[in-house]
Structure 1
Amino acid sequence: MTVAGPPPEVVCVGESMVTFLPSRPGRLADVPSFTRAIGGAESNVACALAAAGHRARWTGRVGADGFGDHLTAALAAHGVDVTTVQRDPRRPTGVYFRTDADRATDAHEVAYYRAGSAASAMSPATVPHESLDGARILHLTGITAALSADCRALLHDLTAPRPGRPLVSFDVNHRPALWRDGDAAGVLLDLANRADLVFVGADEAETLWGAPDARAVAALVDRPAVLVVKHGPAGATAFDRTERAGGAGGTGGTRDTGGTGEARGTDGTGDTDGIDGSVHQERPPRVDVVSTIGAGDAFAAGFLSATLRGLGLPARLRHGHLMAAAALTTPGDLATPPSRARADRLAALDADAWGRLRLGPGWTSADTEADEEVRTR
């Protein structure tokens, strides 16, 4: 496969679907109409990276149908490279419907129509390594591993060591409802330990592996150079082990303190003894949440954007939080991120100002110093 044009900085591989958003609150049984959009963890990351000024490619399979046409056109309109997307004449593009209730509440409903989708037929034979040529980062998620045995084989192939392999970013993204077969805990742990950079929620790590805190997660997911454990509103803890192997690109051989002069622990105790490499914990700014849908994907995109720019571990976490805040303050899966200049200004705030920062709906479009001063009072 030969792809014209400059190579992408990031390639995201997985399933993207057409999503139908409700016209008003209520149960799926009661909502009278829906608005068509697109969704999918990997394509969400690609769209956010493209909006942040990076060359991002989404690779996957869609049906040779109208929904496939819409999906590829919508991704291209977001600035995402879709030149390696394949069309399957025998299988449909996946779709899903959801309510507007928060995913964490009992009122949230999702109806997936993705069984037997074109994406579920992805395999090592359908995603050639040539589609990754020149990329600095390959981003994958555990959602793809849940779709089929062939998809699990694909992720196993893409994460295998080989010359020229991009840095592999893996978001565990455990979706219990999708795991009809296979050992989710074992498969996802194995894939995480084959990656270079891993994102995992503390809640899903406890569900999957019984890990009660970030230290326990780090003991299990012990091979990636960088591990990020997300604690929801409490922030995120990042472990940078590049110093362990003497590699380049680490944040330094000492523990990061986030500018507070306080060594922050991985379990809220301040204890980082025994952690191999650099550790940093960063709380997010206060956010007036509209919807949590897509926030995890946005966090990954912000962290990856800062990684591509060679920023240090504390800055990578803050950029992840800022991109997540953009998603949290909009109702859909995709949000307009802050400009790079504004994100850099906010990420560079001192610890006190960062702690007072509050972001609400529309904050990404208010790009003035005065607005920042109001929000950090």
Structure 2
Amino acid sequence: MTARWRPAPGPVVCVGETMAALAPEPPRSLADATCLRLSVAGAESNVAMYLADHGVPVTWLSALGDDPFGHRVMETVGASGVDVSWVRLDARRSTGLLVKEPQGDGTRVHYYRRGSAASTLGPDLLRSDPVRAASLVHLTGITPALSPSCRELVTRALDVPLGERTYAVSFDVNHRPALWPDATDRDVLRDLADRADIVLVGLDEAQRLWGADLTPSGVREVLPCPRILVVKDGAEAATAITSEGVYQVPALSTAVVEPVGAGDAFAAGFLAGMLTNATMTEALRLGHITAVSALRVTADHGPLPDVRHRRRLLGLTAEEWARCDDFAH
């Protein structure tokens, strides 16, 4: 288990719910808004779309209502280059909906997802052809909170040791307190995360779950088993911890239009680096570059800088990277 360990190059499968999303345009309080923009929002599909942007072949597995919102979600995710042919349309259940409310200290999100089509997902998905052919399966801590069958899906994906399955598993903790009214989140998410091969977690959510004074090294003590642990500290830095050492890369500074989706974008950039033989530092940089793409737009999915500019950023010295302020050029 070394820093050089990574999934074999190949297709990725992202599993989880995606909802229709409404947000005031331009960003303002819902009480004052006169226009709501319709988009899509889902941690796993966000990752899938950004992976496709990076040229990684990716399939999104989920279920949607056979309704206008569901068809809009399917069309949007598919248009980004993600394979959506395995998404199930459910005529008996609806597509989940969220409404974003920008506020002075961030964005409040209102969810309308109880009983959604995606809540019926279960471990049968793991027998599908895309999973059998995948080099990496990406999951988040949102899915196990949606229903017992969704929790079983994630649990079973992690039950088989790496040497006995054909794919590696990445797990983004993605803690959503509102989804855990029974207060089991602390133990369930720790157990699931500690069985994954690659784990991504925000320092703030780790502190909320497992201890207010945690540092990245303290998170490693909580989660000792993942081969690669990435701790994201917002606008400060991201730290990757492996058995070979600790790698830290400062975040890029940028004007933030809307923060929701940036963590998913970071995950996609980092995983794209892992899948394309980037160094650990380059993979962390690619995570930051992709996160900025999300921070600059009101939607969860924004445009990446072109390949030439991404390569220039990846080639900067540590000192040049630390003072970089020309992301868009």
Would the TM-score normalized by the shorter structure come out above 0.5?
Answer: yes
Aligned partners of 2:152 and 2:11: how far apart in 1? 24
- 2:323 counterpart of 1:356: yes
- 2:301 counterpart of 1:302: no
Q: Which residue number in structure 1 is paired with residue 81 of structure 2?
A: 79
Q: 1:154-211 CA deviation, whole Å, 9 max, x = no partner?
A: 1001112153331101000000011123610111011101100000011111110115
- Give the AA of the match of 2:246: V
- Asked if 1 retains the 8 angstrom alpha-carbon contact of 2:126 and 2:132, the reply is no
Q: Which residue number in structure 2 is paired with residue 60 of structure 1?
A: 62
Aligned partners of 1:26 and 1:282: how far apart in 2? 33
Aligned partners of 1:8 and 1:113: how far apart in 2? 35
Gaps of 5+ in 2: 1-8
Aligned partners of 2:281 and 2:253: how far apart in 1? 17
Shift of 1:8: 6.3
Shift of 1:129: 4.2
Q: Which residue number in structure 1 is paired with residue 179 of structure 2?
A: 178
Shift of 1:342: 2.0
Q: 1:91 aligns with which of 93, 113, 126?
A: 93
- Asked if 1 retains the 8 angstrom alpha-carbon contact of 2:293 and 2:302, the reply is yes
Q: Which residue number in structure 1 is paired with residue 313 of structure 2?
A: 346
Shift of 1:215: 1.1
Aligned partners of 2:125 and 2:235: how far apart in 1? 39
The secondary structure found in structure 1 opposite 2:297 is coil
Q: Which residue number in structure 2 is paired with residue 231 of structure 1?
A: 233
The secondary structure found in structure 2 opposite 1:48 is helix
Shift of 1:135: 1.3
Aligned partners of 1:139 and 1:126: how far apart in 2? 13
- Asked if 2 retains the 8 angstrom alpha-carbon contact of 1:238 and 1:280, the reply is yes
- 2:18 counterpart of 1:19: no
Q: Which residue number in structure 2 is paired with residue 70 of structure 1?
A: 72
Q: Which residue number in structure 2 is paired with residue 217 of structure 1?
A: 219
Shift of 1:348: 1.3
Q: Which residue number in structure 2 is paired with residue 272 of structure 1?
A: none
Aligned ranges for residues 1-377 of structure 1 at < 5 Å?
A: 9-101=11-103, 104-105=105-106, 108-161=107-160, 163-181=164-182, 183-210=184-211, 212-241=214-243, 277-359=244-326, 363=328, 366=329
- Give the AA of the match of 2:19: M
Shift of 1:47: 0.4
Q: Which residue number in structure 2 is paired with residue 268 of structure 1?
A: none
Q: 1:203-250 CA deviation, whole Å, 9 max, x = no partner?
A: 111110115111111011111100001111110111122xxxxxxxxx
Aligned partners of 2:148 and 2:10: how far apart in 1? 28
Q: Which residue number in structure 2 is paired with residue 264 of structure 1?
A: none
Relative to structure 1, the CA distance from residue 28 to residue 288 in structure 2 (aligned partners, 3 Å threshold; closer, same or farther) is closer
- Give the AA of the match of 1:303: F
User: Whose relative contact order is higher, 1 or 2, with alpha carbons under 8 Å and at least 6 apart?
Assistant: 2
Q: Which has the larger radius of gyration?
A: 1
The secondary structure found in structure 2 opposite 1:236 is strand
Structure in which a larger fraction of residues adopt strand: 2
Shift of 1:126: 4.8
- Give the AA of the match of 2:40: I
Q: Which residue number in structure 2 is paired with residue 375 of structure 1?
A: none
The secondary structure found in structure 1 opposite 2:142 is helix
- Give the AA of the match of 1:171: D
- Give the AA of the match of 1:83: S
- Give the AA of the match of 2:205: E
Relative to structure 1, the CA distance from residue 10 to residue 204 in structure 2 (aligned partners, 3 Å threshold; closer, same or farther) is same
Gaps of 5+ in 1: 1-6, 242-276, 367-377
- Give the AA of the match of 1:305: A
Shift of 1:63: 0.9
Q: How many residue pairs get matched?
A: 318
Aligned partners of 1:81 and 1:354: how far apart in 2? 34
Q: % of aligned pairs identical? A: 42
- Give the AA of the match of 1:134: A
- Residues 74-83 or 322-331, more deviating: 322-331
Aligned partners of 1:180 and 1:128: how far apart in 2? 31
- Asked if 2 retains the 8 angstrom alpha-carbon contact of 1:285 and 1:359, the reply is no
Name the TM-score, length of structure 2 as normaliser: 0.92
- Give the AA of the match of 1:152: R
Quote the RMSD (CA, aligned, Å): 1.8
Q: Which residue number in structure 1 is paired with residue 4 of structure 2?
A: none
Aligned partners of 1:8 and 1:180: how far apart in 2? 38
Shift of 1:121: 1.2
Shift of 1:90: 1.4
Aligned partners of 2:27 and 2:253: how far apart in 1? 25
- Asked if 2 retains the 8 angstrom alpha-carbon contact of 1:290 and 1:331, the reply is yes
- Asked if 2 retains the 8 angstrom alpha-carbon contact of 1:52 and 1:339, the reply is no
Q: 1:121-171 CA deviation, whole Å, 9 max, x = no partner?
A: 111135534331221111110011111121111100111215333110100
